[in-house]
């Protein structure tokens, strides 16, 4: 949309496309929950109003939320879509109904079978999906030199993905011994993605070995199983992705790590969730419910599943509900047990009460 028109709508000179009235906004920026009317146009939030002033022109469409809560659309910091046993577009249909609007995925399972062709298939299949599927290039194909698989991807192969608009950086560097010992092939991959996000994978790593891994340019880790391990990695400068997967359930053990001084360096991720868990419990929404039930402040729980992930990956257009940000919204009724009553993606209602709306079309 033309910037001049967006400015006119933000000023109140022209009508918004959509106004959500009488919301209670979970504001992950200010750390509060407050009344708000949301104006939306061109897929972004154009204004927050504490009771829309009478002078504001009526929007083309208005929905009275009657006190429902509005939080940012959820982000999954690290997920292998292949574990859901469906391709990205179908995976997106399942998770968007639960409030997830962005996922950062590492397609290393299909990459290990089909190489670049598999990764490009995932990118192509995700085009136009109901969730924004962002990809980190799989760094370990094969996972170690001890394995044989259907493909081998070197630094030059991975670098061809850098120009794709939905490729963020380098996926989890599982060969941490190779990083620490300076393996030339591993270092070439790190160098190719210098300046981009580089995901880590270093279970149990500690002391000088951890320092060497971080010095190489790794940014995060999702393999922590104890508070002590996570705290050492946090002190070393890694962002900690708290994981709740099907076979690695680390959320409850790691919740004591969350405090006012640490929480901005923590994110939620699902890593690998199989269909029964994904459909029965949920995704990041499930993690938020578990965290709140365990006593975590709800705004903090939402921040770990939204803003922190967005900022970690430099996605400044999402992760919060604020003017200029994407109108990806998770609307729910119960702060103690948030379940999606409505989900908006780019200002378009795509799901209601856990079900997709008929033929949702994104702008």
**Could you tell me if 157 and 189 lie in one domain?**
yes
Number of domains in the chain: 2
**Could you tell me if 24 and 84 lie in one domain?**
no
Q: Is the distance from CB of 126 to CB of 102 less than 8 angstroms?
A: no
- In terms of Cβ atoms closer than 10 Å to its own Cβ (0-12, 13-18, 19+), residue 54 is exposed
**Could you tell me if 331 and 200 lie in one domain?**
no
What confidence score (pLDDT) does residue 61 get?
Answer: 96
Measure the CA–CA gap between 16 and 283, rounded to whole angstroms: 32
Domain coverage including residue 165 = 73-312
**Could you tell me if 45 and 167 lie in one domain?**
no
**Could you tell me if 117 and 23 lie in one domain?**
no
115 Rama class: left (phi>0) / alpha (psi -120 to 50) / beta: left
Sign of the dihedral defined by the CA atoms of residues 165, 171, 155, 210, in that order: positive
What is the side-by-side order of every strand in the sheet holding 239-243? 220-221, 239-243, 266-269
Q: Is residue 283 part of a domain?
A: yes
**Could you tell me if 193 and 140 lie in one domain?**
yes
C-alpha distance from residue 343 to each of 78, 328, 356 (Å): 21, 8, 9
Measure the CA–CA gap between 300 and 45, rounded to whole angstroms: 22
Tens digit of pLDDT per residue, the chain (363 long)?
Answer: 789 999 999 999 999 999 999 999 999 999 999 999 999 999 999 999 986 566 788 899 999 999 999 999 999 999 999 999 999 999 999 999 999 999 999 999 999 999 999 999 999 999 999 999 999 999 998 876 776 777 889 999 999 999 999 999 999 999 999 999 999 999 999 999 999 999 999 999 999 999 999 999 999 999 999 999 999 999 999 999 999 999 999 999 999 999 999 999 999 999 999 999 999 999 999 999 999 999 999 999 999 999 999 999 999 999 999 999 999 999 999 999 999 999 999 999 999 999 999 866 666
**Could you tell me if 104 and 196 lie in one domain?**
yes
Sign of the dihedral defined by the CA atoms of residues 268, 166, 141, 278, in that order: positive
Q: Is residue 181 part of a domain?
A: yes
DSSP string of 27-69, one letter each residue: ETTTTEEEEEEEEEETTEEEEEESS--TTSPPPSEEEE-TT-E
Q: In this structure, what CATH number is given to the domain that contains residue 327?
A: 2.30.40.10
Cis ω before 142 (30° cut-off from 0): yes
**Could you tell me if 124 and 141 lie in one domain?**
yes
**Could you tell me if 125 and 186 lie in one domain?**
yes
Tell me if residue 115 falls in helix, strand or coil. coil
Q: Is residue 226 part of a domain?
A: yes
Q: Is residue 362 part of a domain?
A: no
Q: Is residue 217 part of a domain?
A: yes
- Tokens coding 71: 């939080």
CB atoms within 10 A of CB 14: 15
What confidence score (pLDDT) does residue 358 get?
Answer: 85
**Could you tell me if 259 and 339 lie in one domain?**
no
**Beta-strand relationship, 329-332 and 69-72:** antiparallel
In this structure, what are the phi and psi dihedrals at residue 112, rounded to the nearest 5 degrees?
A: -70, -20
Measure the CA–CA gap between 41 and 18, rounded to whole angstroms: 7
Q: Is residue 121 part of a domain?
A: yes
Residue from 246, 255, 257 nearest 82 by CA: 246
Q: Is residue 167 part of a domain?
A: yes
What confidence score (pLDDT) does residue 246 get?
Answer: 93
Place of tokens 């599943």: 305
**Could you tell me if 333 and 232 lie in one domain?**
no
Q: In this structure, what CATH number is given to the domain that contains residue 86?
A: 3.20.20.140
C-alpha distance from residue 242 to each of 4, 31, 297 (Å): 41, 21, 16
Residue from 209, 203, 149 nearest 179 by CA: 209
Place of tokens 């999954």: 76
**Could you tell me if 277 and 326 lie in one domain?**
no
């Amino acid at each position: 949309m033309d910037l001049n028109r967006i400015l006119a709508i933000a000023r109140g000179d022209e009508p918004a496309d959509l106004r959500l009235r009488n919301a209670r906004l979970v504001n992950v920026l200010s750390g509060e929950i407050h009344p708000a009317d949301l104006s939306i146009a061109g897929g972004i939030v154009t204004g927050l109003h504490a009771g829309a002033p009478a002078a504001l022109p009526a929007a083309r469409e208005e929905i009275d939320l009657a006190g429902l809560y509005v939080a940012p659309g959820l982000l999954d910091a690290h997920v292998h879509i292949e574990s859901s046993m469906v391709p990205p577009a179908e995976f997106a249909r399942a998770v968007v109904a639960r409030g997830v609007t962005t996922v950062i995925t590492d397609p290393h399972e299909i990459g290990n079978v089909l190489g670049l062709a598999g990764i490009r298939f995932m990118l192509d299949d995700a085009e136009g999906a109901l969730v924004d599927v962002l990809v980190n290039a799989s760094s370990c194909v094969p996972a170690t030199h001890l394995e044989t698989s259907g493909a081998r991807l070197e630094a030059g192969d991975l670098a061809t993905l850098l120009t794709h608009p939905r490729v963020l950086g380098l996926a989890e560097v599982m060969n941490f011994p190779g990083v620490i010992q300076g393996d030339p092939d591993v270092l070439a991959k790190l160098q190719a993605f210098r300046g981009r996000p580089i995901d880590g994978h270093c279970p149990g790593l500690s002391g000088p070995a951890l320092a060497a891994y971080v010095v190489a340019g790794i940014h995060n880790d999702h393999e922590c199983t104890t508070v002590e391990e996570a705290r050492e990695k946090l002190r070393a400068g890694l962002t900690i992705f708290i994981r709740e997967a099907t076979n690695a359930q680390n959320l409850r053990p790691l919740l004591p790590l969350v405090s006012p001084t640490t929480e901005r360096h923590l994110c939620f991720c699902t890593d690998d969730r199989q269909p029964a868990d994904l459909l029965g419990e949920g995704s990041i929404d499930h993690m938020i419910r578990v965290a709140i039930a365990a006593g975590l402040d709800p705004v903090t729980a939402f921040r770990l599943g939204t803003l922190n992930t967005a900022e970690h990956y430099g996605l400044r257009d999402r992760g919060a509900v604020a003017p200029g940000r994407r109108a990806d919204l998770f609307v729910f009724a119960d702060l103690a047990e948030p379940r999606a009553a409505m989900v908006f993606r780019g200002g378009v209602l795509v799901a209601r009460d856990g079900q997709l709306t008929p033929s949702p079309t994104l702008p």
